[in-house]
């Protein structure tokens, strides 16, 4: 049965991780894997999570299934975090949220529901976008097309080209947008641009589909939700995939949510019944532990305050590292302007170097990043930033 299969190449990120681990260079730097790291290079369990886990352990009295939608309380708390508890769409009973196996599970659940609702739908994704968007959505059978997003020359959003392409997208199709902290480029839409996209969606009738993987990692929990809340105020239908991997540090627990804003409460009930059918046919029931921790934190004023503080610490550290890397590149005499690194948001940025220069960083300096030159800012530390900047400058000054 399986003898006809052809071996596939390793995932480039996972391959980089393996190469990094095998490298014996004491100066090696891992800028590939997209997880938050502290100054020591660890991805810690948050203090609020530790406390919530202990509290939940002391009160949990069953391991019975929680049902396809997951915990109703956790879903309400996450829904309020994303939209705001007083959002008009919530008050009109037009929003439904389910618990999913991480952000990936949310995206795939959404894709399967879209396929049921409109098999001919096309999902438009940004160029570039997170590498896993295309298989998660495309493997459900949805057509995928791209719209221009990042201008590598200006190191910013190519908004005019983006809007020109999206102006041709009509009813029945979806446009996938990054809610904040764009992965992989770090360049986000500003509020004026969000408003323009929202009005275009309303005019043309396409459905916004927002991936909200980094709420709180950009400017703050409320600020990062601007686009989602604006869209929910503007268009009749909206899909939001969210993840608790980054902002709660619950990577391996696979805690996420899928929230859908429907045109009416009646549509919401119908959509939810179909979504339950999708879940039942894929994984039957979601995992519980990660969402239970989120529910415990968001259900406690004390733990929520602790979590807000930790989230601010992570966000401020990333911003400081962006500024520090730019400063060090200037000090080391880097040719070119790297101010864009400070102007972008979240964990990722493109360095803007070519593939050969990336390979030189990997092979000659043990600095691990993907061929696109995307770097994880959180992989930088006070102890490696000088070596990193010196290595980047050396590669930039190499003669062809």
Catalytic residue (choose from 28, 155, 246, 328) = 246
Bridge partners (DSSP) listed for residue 157? 150
Instruction: Tell me whether strands 122-127 and 174-178 are parallel, antiparallel or unpaired.
Output: parallel
| Closest C-alpha to 246, from 28, 99, 19, 33 | 33
Catalytic residue (choose from 28, 37, 109, 130) = 130
Report the length, in residues, of the chain.
Answer: 400
Residues 293 and 274: their CA atoms lie apart, in Å, by: 27
93 contact partners, CB below 8 Å, separation of at least 6: 265, 268
Residues 257 and 71: their CA atoms lie apart, in Å, by: 11
Q: Check if 211 is active-site.
A: yes
Residues 377 and 321: their CA atoms lie apart, in Å, by: 7
146, exposed or middle or buried, with CB in 10 Å at 0-12, 13-18, 19+? middle
Q: Check if 246 is active-site.
A: yes
Bridge partners (DSSP) listed for residue 146? 125
Within 13 A of 27's CA, how many CA atoms are on the CB side? 14
Q: Are 387 and 44 within 8 A, CB to CB?
A: no
Residues 167 and 156: their CA atoms lie apart, in Å, by: 20
Residues 215 and 223: their CA atoms lie apart, in Å, by: 9
| DSSP string computed for 118-160 | -TT-EEEEEES--TTHHHHHHTTT-EEEEEE-EETTTTEE-HH
| Backbone φ and ψ of 180, nearest 5° | -170, 165
Catalytic residue (choose from 211, 224, 307, 328) = 211
Please give the positions annotated as active site: 130, 211, 246
């Amino acid at each position: 049965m399986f003898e006809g299969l052809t071996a596939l190449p390793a995932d480039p990120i996972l391959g980089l991780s393996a190469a990094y681990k095998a490298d014996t260079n004491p100066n090696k730097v891992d800028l590939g894997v997209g997880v938050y790291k502290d100054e020591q290079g660890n991805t810690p369990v948050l203090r609020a999570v530790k406390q919530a886990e202990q509290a939940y352990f002391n009160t949990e009295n069953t391991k019975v299934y929680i049902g396809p939608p997951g915990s109703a309380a956790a879903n309400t708390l996450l829904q309020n975090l994303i939209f705001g508890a007083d959002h008009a769409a919530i008050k009109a009973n037009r929003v439904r949220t389910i618990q999913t196996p991480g952000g990936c599970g949310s995206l795939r659940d959404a894709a399967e529901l879209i396929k049921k609702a409109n098999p001919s739908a096309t999902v438009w994704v940004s160029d570039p976008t997170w590498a896993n968007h295309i298989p998660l959505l495309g493997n459900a059978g949805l057509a995928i097309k791209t719209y221009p997003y990042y201008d590598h020359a200006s190191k910013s959003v190519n908004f005019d080209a983006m809007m020109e392409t999206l102006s041709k997208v009509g009813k029945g199709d979806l446009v996938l947008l990054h809610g904040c902290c764009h992965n992989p480029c770090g360049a986000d839409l500003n509020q004026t641009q969000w408003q323009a996209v929202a009005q275009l969606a309303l005019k043309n009738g396409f459905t916004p589909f927002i991936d909200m993987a980094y709420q709180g990692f950009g400017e703050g929990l409320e600020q990062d939700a601007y686009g989602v809340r604006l869209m929910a105020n503007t268009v009749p239908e909206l899909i939001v995939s969210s993840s608790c991997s980054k902002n709660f540090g619950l990577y391996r627990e696979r805690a996420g949510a899928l929230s859908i804003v429907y045109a009416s409460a009646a549509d919401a009930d119908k959509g939810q019944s179909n979504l339950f059918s999708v879940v039942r046919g894929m994984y039957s029931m979601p995992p519980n532990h990660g969402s239970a921790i989120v529910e415990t934190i968001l259900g406690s004023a004390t733990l929520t305050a602790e979590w807000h503080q930790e989230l601010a610490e992570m966000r401020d550290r990333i911003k400081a590292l962006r500024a520090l890397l730019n400063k060090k590149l200037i000090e080391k005499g880097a040719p070119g302007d790297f101010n864009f690194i400070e102007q972008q948001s979240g964990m990722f940025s493109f360095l803007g170097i070519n593939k050969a220069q990336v390979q030189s960083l990997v092979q000659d300096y043990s600095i691990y990043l993907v061929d696109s030159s995307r770097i994880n800012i959180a992989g930088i530390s006070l102890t490696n930033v000088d070596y990193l900047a010196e290595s980047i400058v050396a590669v930039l000054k190499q003669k062809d």
